[in-house]
A and B are shown apart, each in its own frame.
Chain A
């Protein structure tokens, strides 16, 4: 083998080593796949055999688009499905982290899902709100879902919900979330930008594996 050839091979070896290194780190990050149960963020039959975990960001347009698609699954599988919402705010998305905090505070009063829907419905409003008025906007939504405003305010201002959000982000990282929304169906990551028909098919396919009769 000529010296020139060896020189080229070393270059290739470096590239393969780097690809291996990045893949290994990604794999290692994906090995710890435990999920904390957060009852206020579970929708559907708690004992359902099929569950979808949704890692989502309130400021992400695709996350908004997929909400009605996910909701419509309950019409088809009213008893066999539960959806678990997990916070995955992209930190550089304007106010997204704060929106996650507000939704967790609504969750304290049992209104997580209603508040979540309001956040998605009014994303342009809070996304474009100035920092000094943001809390008022979130309080306004809290009023619309009949929350105890004082409790909500205390919770939001305390910053206590950051731990939960950071834990959710870490869980997402462990599942190798590569963007939002990311859906995990019975522990397996599925394509995110999917249609109602495709999701319906995936859930139907998951049912026989769990021993539940297919519709």
Chain B
């Protein structure tokens, strides 16, 4: 009996922690996308150009798209909508950014900050950003693959409706 309660409470704690993780990471992406979208695009373009990996003609298109992906992906994750897909997209985005960060660190590019928030709000060094993004990627992969990440999510609300309808 005690053994069963212990398993149940462990599961509850795990679900709650995953809920917190989902909300925090989602909010972070929403903030990141939003802060870039309400400022002139040039702030983000300059930040991206500093990494010296993307051809100039692509920078503008990339900088126009990425903040929207962050905002929509972040909002989906925050609300728990299509968690595996939104999580997967954000893992890909953060993973690509990690590669850019890693090459900047290896090449010792003279950059004071990562430009992750469009170069005008929160300022993080390349190392700080690398550590933070590594944690985010791990968190996102865990969220996207775990079955316990649906607490208070839109996906869960629909699953419950579906099972009610089936009954």
B59 shortest CB reach to chain A, Å: 12
- The answer to whether A22 and B158 have CB atoms under 8 Å apart is no
Cβ–Cβ contact B158 & A3, under 8 A: yes
The smallest beta-carbon distance between A17 and chain B, in angstroms, is: 8
Contact A91 B119 (CB under 8 A): yes
Q: Does B27 contact A (CB under 8 A)?
A: no
Contacting chain A: which of B12-20, B38-46, B125-133?
B38-46
> A-B contact count, CB below 8 Å?
51
Contact A92 B38 (CB under 8 A): no
B112's nearest neighbour on chain A, judged by CB, is A92
Does A90 lie within 8 Å of B42, measured CB to CB? yes
Decide if the interface of chain B is mainly helix, strand, loop or mixed.
helix
Contact B38 A29 (CB under 8 A): yes
Contacts A3-B161, A3-B165, A91-B120 known; A22 to B71 CB distance under 8 Å?
A: yes
A179 part of interface (Cβ distance < 8 Å): yes
Establish whether residues A10 and B154, one from each chain, have CB atoms under 8 Å apart when the complex forms. yes
Contact: B75 with A178, CB < 8 Å? Answer: no
Q: How far is the CA of A91 from the CA of B121 in the complex (A)?
A: 11
B41 / chain A contacts, CB cutoff of 8 Å: 178-179
Interface size, chain B (Cβ < 8 Å):
26
Interface residues of B in 109-127 (CB under 8 A from A): 115, 119-120
- As a 0/1 sequence over residues 1 to 18 of chain A, the CB contacts with chain B under 8 angstroms (1 = contact) are 001001100110011001
The smallest beta-carbon distance between A28 and chain B, in angstroms, is: 10
Q: Does B162 contact A (CB under 8 A)?
A: yes
Main secondary structure of the interface of A (DSSP, over half): helix
Q: Size range of the interface on A?
A: 20 to 34
In residues 77-99 of chain A, which contact B (Cβ within 8 Å)?
Answer: 90-93
Cβ of B21 under 8 Å from chain A: no
What residues of chain A lie closer than 8 Å to B37, measured between beta carbons?
Answer: 22, 26
Choose the segment among B2-10, B76-84, B94-102, B134-142 that binds chain A (4+ C-beta atoms closer than 8 Å).
B76-84
Partner among A6, A14, A15, A22 whose Cβ is within 8 Å of the Cβ of B38: A22
Docked-complex contact A18 and B115, CB < 8 angstroms: no
Please state if A92 and B72 are interface contacts (CB–CB under 8 Å): no
Decide if A180 is an interface residue (CB 8 Å cutoff).
yes
A residues 105-140 with Cβ under 8 Å of B?
none
| Known A3-B161, A3-B165, A26-B38; contact A90-B43, beta-carbon cutoff 8 A | yes
User: Which 5 pairs between the two chains have the least Cβ-Cβ distance?
Assistant: A179-B42, A92-B46, A92-B119, A178-B40, A22-B37
13 additional A-B pairs beyond A10-B81, A18-B72, beta carbons within 8 Å, are: A3-B165, A11-B76, A11-B81, A14-B76, A14-B79, A18-B71, A22-B37, A22-B38, A91-B43, A173-B39, A178-B42, A179-B41, A179-B42
Show the binding face of B for A, using Cβ within 8 Å. Answer: 34, 37-43, 46-47, 50, 71-72, 75-76, 79, 81-82, 115, 119-120, 154, 158, 161-162, 165
